Structure 1
Amino acid sequence: MAIPRGADYVAMGSSFAAGPGLKPRAVGAPRASGRSAGNYAHLVAARLGLSLRDVTFSGATTEDILRGTRHRTAQIDAVTADTRLVTITAGGNDIGYLPALTFASLPWPLRALPVFRRRVAQFTDPTATDRRFQALSASLASIVRELHARAPEAEIVLVDYLTILPEQSNDDRRLEVLRSSPRGDLTRWGREVASRLTRTFASVAAAEGCVFLDVGELSREHHAWSSAAWTRRFHLSLRGGAPYHPDAAGMAAVAEMLIRRLE
């Protein structure tokens, strides 16, 4: 449905929605949030003339959205009966998707440390991954149901993750660091997790009556190693976007997809 100009828009999610490293920083945003004025929520709000309340926060899980933490209120508390649009990009931290890829990509002296090897092993354990996906599905469903109760007239959009890893290629040496992980080929694990995140979002959206924006499928040719990338490869800074996160072009692309869907 069309969202009227001036309507209240609440953006929720983790760093993939917040945009750490993308300048300028959102006015008044805590530094730890990594919240950028160039993230897709800000771009959409500016184009459609919406009143944005951006509560995205780097490191957030779906639990943080629904219940908050000791130091931060639940993101969902930003939603009121007047809210007309809610977007959510979250779940990767629940699974350990980006943390595992990041830890496995650290320079050798660091990624060899027991603490990082242990964390990668915990994130990529198959049984634990299955459990985390079951919990994520239930958590996302709870969030959508609570949003329907709090804002019955709101359009709720689950926004998928942009593609990070390219399709499998036997002669592709660009991902050698991830392929040589002590836990085996993490590119295979990363692709499977991305695919399962997409399927989880789509399933929850269909079951709970909200919109699913299939950003992953729409960005297949814009992975981090492509000539027209929308996400960053690993690098030891936040400049231009955090490693394995959207760059400015990626945020603009997601905003455009969302605007087309809403219109």
Structure 2
Amino acid sequence: MKAIWLPGMLSLLLGGCAASGSESGRALPPKARFASLGSSFAAGAGIGPLQAGTPERCSRTTNNYATLLAARLDLNLVDASCGGATSEHVLRGWSELPPQIDALDRETRLVTITVGGNDLGYVGWLFASSCRLGVAAFPGPCRPAAEPTDADYARLDRNLRAIAQQVRVRAPQARLVFVQYVTLLSDTACGLETVTPADAAVARRIAQRLASVTDGAARASGADVLDADRLSRSHTPCSPEPWSNGLSPGYNRTQGAPWHPNAAGHAAIARELASLLQARPALNRK
């Protein structure tokens, strides 16, 4: 089962499970241990100063949604998110980096995760399209990109379910929240979203299936979902109040990483997470 959080309301999809009575059903106490896992969409690439001690490749910033949420709710954050990470890196590590799941322990009370886009080459597809259109931000040759296969989606589904299972084993008191990827493309692309119509259609399909796989894994594991994709549909790069950056010939990298959430997007996710966590302490656990 899961919770879908929309502005101003909480729609609960309830199954037939009885209340577990676990610690995760209580409100988070001050200084509770909180672990953030995932890719650059969790790490906050390019939106502020780097966190002290962050590995160079990870680009964890002090303005990412986990840091803002921890400050808002007075939580002790362990941020293991990393730019470029896949679900495999959460489970099994990445070169010199340990598995992100190792950030959890039995005292952990909250786990958030945004991962899966790199498994599917989601942002890579958008970068490749922008590059083929001659966007000046790319100094070298364009890198090829392939549309993900059914096998890629199936592998991601297995990994997300395995991550949820590991959270339950390693942090039995923790509440798990999957945070969806923000919507990056409007229905009709503008000059701030430099992609071809055909490539935009593929990117939208990837985003939709990524969200569906994430929903399914969360539902199967009894986790919550913050529907950042739905929340951000009116906040694409073409909107008056964008929560993400597109890529155009005049792109300014001081705004953050292209084709990623911007500072406003991370702030919005932190606010919605706080509302979700405070509106109802936890869903019933399976």
Question: When the two structures are superposed, what TM-score results if normalisation uses the length of structure 2?
Answer: 0.82
Show the counterpart of 2:49.
24
Q: Does 1:157 align with 2:177?
A: yes
Contact kept in structure 2, 1:55 and 1:75, CA below 8 Å: yes
The ranges of structure 1 where at least 4 consecutive aligned residues each deviate by more than 6 angstroms after the TM superposition are 109-114
1:79 to 88, 104, 129: 104
Q: How many residues align?
A: 249
Which residue, 59, 75, 82 being the options, matches 1:57?
82
* Greater relative contact order, per chain length (Cα 8 Å cut-off, separation 6+): 2
Aligned sequence identity (%): 39
Aligned match for 1:48, one of 67, 73, 82: 73
Q: Is the 8 A contact 1:175 1:187 kept in 2?
A: no
SS of 1:239's partner is helix
Contact 1:20 1:238 (C-alpha < 8 Å) held by counterparts:
no
The aligned residue for residue 255 of structure 2 is: 240
Bigger helix fraction? 1
Letter in 1 for 2:73: L
2: distance between equivalents of 1:163 and 1:77?
A: 29
SS at match of 1:4: coil
TM-score, structure 1 normalization:
0.89
1:250 aligns with 2:275: no
Partner residue of 2:37? Answer: 12
Q: Secondary structure of the residue that 1:66 maps to in structure 2? A: helix
Unmatched tracts of structure 1, length 5 or more: none
CA RMSD for the aligned pairs?
2.0
What residue is the counterpart of 1:194 in the other structure? 207
Distance 1:27 1:257, change over 3 A: same
Which has more strand, going by share of residues? 2
* Stretches of structure 2 lacking an aligned partner (at least 5 in a row): 1-24, 279-286
Residue by residue, what CA displacement relative to the aligned partner does 1:98-118 show, whole Å, maximum 9, x if unpaired? 0110122126288798762xx
User: How big is each residue's C-alpha offset from its partner over 1:65-91, in whole Å with a ceiling of 9 and x where there is no partner?
Assistant: 000023110000010000000000000
